[in-house]
Chain A
Amino acid sequence: MRRNRLLSFAIGLVALQVLVALLAPWLGFQDPFRQVMVQRIKPPNALNLLGTDQLGRDVLARIVYGYRTSLMTCTASVALALVLGGSIGMIAAYTRGWFDRIVMRLMDVLFAFPILLLAIGVIAIIGPNLWSAALAIAVVYTPIFARLLRGPALVICESEYVLGAKAVGASDARIILTHILPNLVSVILVQTSLLLSAAILVEASLSFLGLGAQPPVPSLGLMLSEGRNFLLLAPWPAIFSGLAILFLSFGFNLLGDALRDTLDPRMRSVAGVRA
């Protein structure tokens, strides 16, 4: 009961933020790009609920559109990593043998880099912009998904229904897609939510460092880094954009955490093998 309430709260928190971001153009926010020179660095007031930034742009509107940027980038990168890493993990677990050994070794090598440093390395190669950041996050998360899914997939591959499916002559693709994948859904849901939470922080860090979103794109990390230059004069853009990053990341992390509890009985038996 209590767990379900926490889960509902987490779902509500995430849904609220995602919906506002998705529906932003129709919710009557101001234009996040419009610069009103006479309204520069105004503290929160009736016209601009969260104040304005150094170019006279509405901070609330920029935060809402920053949500869009962040969610778009992170969803794309985590989805790409899930498809790539997930396929690698499942195929490695299913085929075992040389493919498993070579590919997972390669994943170990990628996994050996500190996350942010690997992302920075990728961006150093392809140049700093928002989509480089997305690709960098995907590269960083692919080995994580591969490792996370290979363990549980190994257990499922040994199960009687997979052996049975093999015995009646089902094709490899069919076994992976209809027998292994559905049994990994709970693991995937939990980990995707947790990794989205982390990806939001990585994207914000990269944009903060000037390696992700470039001006004038509304981006939470970029707002924070621009707001830092006016910190003592006008702290609100920096404070509110940071809070927005926190709420977004917190929501997804709590969701993953609460999901793990709700799906626990299955997860525990599977997760135990991973270690």
Chain B
Amino acid sequence: MTPKFLLGRLIDLAFVMFGVSILVFLMIRLIPGDAVMIMLGANTEITPDRVAELEHRLGLDLPMPVQYAHWIGGALRGDFGTSIWTGRPVTEEIASAIGPTFELTFLAVLVGAGLSIPIGAFMAQARGRGAEVAVRVGAIAGLTIPSFWLGIVSILFVSKLMPGVSMLGYVPFSEDPLGNLQRMVLPVFALCLPMLANLSRLVRSAMLDALGQDYIRTAKAKGAGRRRVVYRHALRNALIPFVTSVGVSVGYLLGGAIVVEQVFAIPGLGRLVLGAISERNYPLVQATILTVTFAFVLVNFIVDLLYATIDPRVTR
């Protein structure tokens, strides 16, 4: 990885984050009608004093660039202001909800990406008509199964087969490791299946591609064993599209987690943002969207760097 490549990527990163922050900042100003009235109207009686107070608290009485500077300056220091109805700092509310979402997404990436390599490599050995069609139909079905439906159906199954097993809610890992993991099994399964289906198919076709290349013939000719050829030579090259795809999948998983949390009653960011929308708590909505998107952008930045490490050609 050349310094020039790294610098270019950092500039891209800064630009995208700046753009994202501007859009999220503008959100509250794009609400048709008077955002302050709407926010107050949902919860209390509207009086001129209250309007002025809330406007001031949201900084809406200042010029736009000043508002943005205040907002982003606070955000960078981890200060998103206080939640309008609870009076708790927004950062605190996000911090208490981020754990479950992070764990869910992290486990789903781990399971989805981890299982897809052996499954894809195994499927690469099946060739011919029937296998092609079966792999394709299976992968597409896995990709298009709605995760929330899968979650609901799995709850139904488990509750019929093993009544008494607690599947809903969330217990922190630090309090009860077994209970935590037990409750994570179904949500992680429901969340990672589309990714698993997609990645397995990708690994399979990349492996088939790689196995047909000259360097594989060379490796075989110099007497490398079958395992070594598959895992060391073919897999490394199959990893290149794989890594990019994992990065993109994280975005889907973060979105999917919002829905899956709702199915399994997990108190994560999804619940937080949905609750905030129904309460018209816009600063909380903004802060959650900004946090999650920044996380996603950072993941993709790291994936870009990884990609450049695996395949040195891209940095040239």
Contact = CB atoms under 8 A, between A and B. Distances in A.
A245 B146 contact: yes
Nearest to A126: B32
Interface stretch (A21-29, A58-66, A174-182, A201-209): A201-209
A113 interface: yes
Nearest to A110: B23
Nearest to B289: A121
B110 interface: no
A224 B148 contact: yes
Contacts of B205: none
A117 B268 CA distance: 14
A105 B15 contact: yes
B255 A115 contact: yes
Contacts of A105: 15, 19
A192 interface: no
Interface string B10-28: 0010011001100110010
B68 interface: no
Contact of A113 (B136, B274, B296): B296
Interface in B149-166: 149-150, 152-153, 155-156, 159
B123 interface: no
A242 interface: yes
A274 to B, nearest CB: 12
Interface string A1-29: 01000100000000000000000000000
B143 A253 contact: yes
A134 B281 CA distance: 23
Given A117-B254, A120-B273, A246-B144, A112 B133 contact: no
Contacts of A211: 274, 277
A121 B276 CA distance: 11
A257 B136 contact: yes
A98 B208 CA distance: 42
Contacts of B259: 116, 205, 208-209
Interface string A94-123: 000000000001101110111111001101
Interface in B106-134: 129, 132-133
A201 B146 contact: yes
A249 interface: yes
A250 B141 contact: yes
A168 interface: no
A97 B49 CA distance: 51
Contacts of B149: 224, 238, 242-243, 245-246
B137 A114 contact: no
Contact of A228 (B263, B282, B293, B297): B263
B155 A109 contact: no
Contact of B20 (A112, A243, A250): A112
B308 to A, nearest CB: 14
Interface in B6-47: 12, 15-16, 19-20, 23-24, 27, 30-32
Contact of B252 (A110, A114, A204): A114
Contacts of A227: 152
Given A2-B133, A112-B297, A231-B155, A254 B140 contact: yes
Nearest to B241: A275
A239 B255 contact: no
B144 A124 contact: no
Given A115-B252, A124-B285, A246 B20 contact: no
Nearest to A115: B255
Contacts of B273: 117, 120
Contacts of B152: 224, 227-228, 231, 238, 242
Contact of A250 (B129, B132, B140, B159): B140
B159 A124 contact: no
Given A108-B19, A112-B293, A197-B144, A125 B27 contact: yes
A232 interface: yes
A114 B292 contact: yes
Interface in B267-285: 273-274, 277, 282, 285
A235 to B, nearest CB: 6
A205 B262 CA distance: 11
B31 A117 contact: no
Contacts of A228: 152, 263
Nearest to B270: A209
B156 A204 contact: no
Interface string A171-214: 00000000000000000000000000100010011001111000
B59 interface: no
A205 B24 contact: no
B256 A116 contact: yes
6 contacts: A109-B20, A116-B252, A120-B274, A124-B277, A204-B148, A254-B140
Interface of A: 2, 6, 105-106, 108-110, 112-117, 120-121, 123-126, 128, 197, 201, 204-205, 208-211, 224, 227-228, 231-232, 235, 238-239, 242-243, 245-246, 249-250, 253-254, 257
Across the A-B interface, the 8 shortest Cβ-Cβ residue pairs: A116-B255, A242-B149, A109-B19, A249-B144, A114-B251, A114-B254, A250-B144, A114-B255
